[in-house]
Amino acid sequence: MAPDDHSNSKQQGIDLPAPTSAPFVCAFGVTLIFSGIVTNWAVSILGFVLALVGAIRWWHEVLPDNQKECIPFQSERPIVKPKVGGVAHLMTADSPHRARLPMEIHPYGAGIKGGIAGGIVMAIIAGTWGVVSHGSVWYPVNILGSTILPTMQGDDAAQLAQWHTASFVFGILIHAIMSSLVGLLYGIILPMVPHFRLAFSAIAIPLMWTGLTWASLEVINPLLQNEINWLVFIGSQVGFGITCWFVVSRSERIGTMQNWSMLERIGVESPNVPPIGGDE
C-alpha cells in the first residue's frame, strides 16, 4: 500500500499534529470575554488578551508549516487473521449469495382476501351476539357507526338496536376498510413469523388488539365502553384471526425478487439479461 503523506521517509513513525495548548487558552479567553458581561468588564479584557495570545500561538502552530510530532511505531501490530471454517449461509436455489428473510411471501391479494373473509366471519359472530343479547342484528354495526356519527353519540341500547341508514353505511365502510387493511398486514407479517403462525394470528394478535382498543377507548369514545361485551369482542377477533390465517396460508407462495437484477425486476427481456429467477 502506498505510504500516505503523513508518514516520514524513514518509516519509523508517523507524523501527527504536535500537542499545543493554544486552543485551550483561546477557548478560555473566549469564555472569559462572555463571562465579563455578567461579572466585570475587566474579566472581558483579560479574556480578550488570553484569546488573542491563544490565537497567535495557534497561528504559529500552523503557519508557515504545521507543527508535527513523530510518533514511533508501537511494537504490537495487530493483523486480522482469516478464520478457519466456513460460514453457514441461508441459500436458495437461485441465490448466488446470502438470502434475505423472508425468502417467500404470500401475494398481497391473499392478505386482502383473508381480511375480507375474516371480516365476514367477524360480522357473523357480532351479528349473532346482537340478536342473542339485544334482539337486533343492527346493534353491533350501530356501535361502530356511532364512533364517528356525532348525532348517535348519546344513544342508549334501545336506540342502538334500531335500523339507522347512515350508521349502517359508515359502520360497514369502517369495517370493510379496517378488515382488508388488517388482512393485508396479516398477509405481509405471517411469512416473517418463524413458528406458531396460527397461534400468532388467532391468539396473540387478537389479544393485543383488544388490549389496545380497551385501553384507548376511554379516550376515543368513553360512552362506547359500556356498550361493548369484551368477551364477544375477543371472540370475533379470534374468528377473524383464524379465517384470515386460513385464507392467507392456503394461498400460493411466491419468491421475493431479492436476487433479481434491476432489469429483471422491471421486466426487461433481452438476451443480455441472465435469467436468474425471472423464468417462470
Partner 1 sequence: MTALDHSGNPLRAKATFLGRMHEWVSTADHKKLGVMYVTTGLLFFLIGGLEATMMRWQLAVPDSSLLSPSDFNRLFTMHGTTMVFLVGMPILLGVANYIIPMQIGARDLAFPRLNAFGFWLFLFGGLLLYFSYFGAQGLYGMGSSPDVGWFAYAPLTERTYSRGHSTDYWILGLLVSSFGSIATGINLITTILTMRCPGMTLMKMPVMVWVMLIDAILIMIAMPPLAAAQVMLLFDRLMGAHFFDVQGGGSAILWQNLFWFFGHPEVYILILPAFAYVSEIIPVFCRKVIFGYPLMVAATVSIGFISLGVWVHHLFALGLSPMVNTIFMGSTMLIAIPTGLKMFNWVGTMIGGKIRFDTPMLFSTGFLALFLIGGLTGVMLSVVPFDWQVSDSYFVVGHFHYVLFGGLVFAIFAAIYYWFPKVTGKMLSETLGKWQFWLLFIGFNLTFGPMHVSGMLGMPRRIYTYHADRGWELWNMLSSIGVLVQIAGVTFFVWNVIQSLRKGKDAGADPWDGWTLEWATTSPPPEYNFEEIPKVYSCRPLWDLKHPEDPDWKYE
Q: How far is the CB of 136 from partner 1 (least distance, A)?
A: 33
91 binds partner 1 (CB under 8 A): no
Is 42 within 8 Å of 93 (Cβ atoms)? no
Is 99 within 8 Å of 91 (Cβ atoms)? yes
Nearer to partner 1, 236 or 259 (CB): 259
Is 202 within 8 Å of 241 (Cβ atoms)? yes
274 binds partner 1 (CB under 8 A): no
Q: Rule CB under 8 A: which of 209-268 touch partner 1?
A: 219
One-letter amino acid for residue 38 of the chain: V
**Is 189 in a helix, a strand, or coil?**
helix
Q: How far is the CB of 239 from partner 1 (least distance, A)?
A: 27
| Cα separation values, 115 from 3, 168, 189, 197, Å | 64, 20, 13, 16
One-letter amino acid for residue 196 of the chain: F
Nearer to partner 1, 42 or 231 (CB): 42
Nearer to partner 1, 67 or 221 (CB): 67
Grid cell for residue 178: 379496517
Q: How far is the CB of 156 from partner 1 (least distance, A)?
A: 26
Grid cell for residue 273: 439479461
Number of residues that bind partner 1 (CB under 8 A): 59
Binder to partner 1 among 10, 41, 64, 65 (CB under 8 A)? 65
77 binds partner 1 (CB under 8 A): yes
Residues across the chain: 280
Binder to partner 1 among 14, 120, 207, 224 (CB under 8 A)? 14
Is 36 within 8 Å of 44 (Cβ atoms)? yes
Nearer to partner 1, 102 or 206 (CB): 102
21 binds partner 1 (CB under 8 A): yes
One-letter amino acid for residue 274 of the chain: P
Stretches 83-91, 140-148, 221-229, 231-239: which one binds partner 1 (CB under 8 A)? 83-91
Query: Can you tell me the distance from the alpha carbon of 139 to that of 162, in angstroms, rounded to the nearest whole number?
Result: 7
Write down the number of H helices and E strands in the chain. 10, 4
39 binds partner 1 (CB under 8 A): yes
**Distance from chain centroid for Cα 272:** 37
Interacting residues toward partner 1 by CB under 8 A: 1, 3-4, 6, 8, 13-24, 26-28, 30-31, 34-35, 37-40, 58, 61-62, 65, 67-74, 76-78, 80-83, 86-87, 89-90, 96-98, 100-101, 192, 194, 219
